[in-house]
Structure 1
């Protein structure tokens, strides 16, 4: 009796299969870069920033590097991580799923996760926020995006499920992880940002 092989879990949440299209779209859209740059003005140039779900580095990591920050990237798509490495050879990048990443085995002054959190299941989002809090230096900042409304939708590129836990739940998770919500923002694409600081 033969056993049917179960399909392997895709740690890139479908983005490896659409990497080329994703890169083309992000090259044409700078949405998020201005908001992240404005947020980063409260940080000292040269500080270390971890970009989770960094993709090929455009536009978020590129904007932070242009402003003088020491950027480390984590992305689970081999194609996107390789393109990041080719494009920014002086930056640091690893191809790892954020939920399993070692985060380079170090602390960071700030962490950003733009367009990532809602790709993950609810329990993984909770664990990730806690791990991020542990990875931040004292007083470190964490900025991430997810809709303010609790909702489920299909990702435009991959067709996979996206899940926002909603602002009230995110605020609870932030507080429970030992972070303090500093502010919330919207960018030009109506993406909702949560800005928090480690106590």
Structure 2
């Protein structure tokens, strides 16, 4: 599966617009987005890792008065984000290499973080830590158990990977985050496995 893991960015560059056109706007994620929002200060700064076209997740926060900075490797999707929300910031960047000179009140990696190899996911917790203010919220989706899986996008193999729950908990703890909520294959969120954590204050 190594080759498929290397192709994630290129697949979303080629097929991002097709993926975007079929992306649900039902906001089945709303229960979790609401929980994440409750941890943020009014008008706070949100970092969206793998922001795509900014609709519907970044839109949710923008419409509630938050300042969103989005990161993605797909220029076609970033073009849509910039067109839709020109007052917010959208950067072409690989989340694994991210090193912004600022920190955020909330960090979101929804249906993006799980496209990374397990070894890259392990290293991402330092990226989360560097970009989180004390008390920042962190929310990401993972697989339900340790392993790798291949889906498809426009007929091409689409890589996914996950650590197991104990390892995610250990990594969060080691990097200063406390788990607030975790649901494996949440039936109220289209069977997504969701993690919500908070950076320890001080």
| TM-score band w.r.t. shorter chain | 0.7 to 0.9
TM-score scaled by length of structure 1: 0.88
| Structure-2 separation of matches of 1:140 and 1:28 | 27
Per-residue Cα deviation, 1:20-67 (whole angstroms, up to 9, x for no partner):
111112254433244213321232220001000000001110001111
- 2:138 is equivalent to residue 135 of structure 1: no
The question of 1:177 aligning with 2:175 is answered: yes
Equivalenced residues, count = 190
- By how many angstroms is 1:166 displaced? 2.0
Q: Aligned partners of 2:8, 2:151: CA distance in 1, in Å?
A: 15
Structure 1 or 2: more strand by fraction: 2
Task: Give 4+ residue runs of structure 1 displaced > 3 Å after superposition.
Answer: none
Deviates more, 1:22-31 or 1:130-139: 22-31
User: Residue in 2 aligned with 1:194?
Assistant: 195
SS of the residue aligned with 1:12?
helix
Residue aligning to 2:44: 47
- TM-score, length basis structure 2: 0.87
* Gap regions ≥5 residues in structure 1: 1-8
Note closer, same or farther for the CA distance 1:47–1:178 as it changes in structure 2 (3 Å cut).
same
Q: Which has the higher helix share?
A: 2
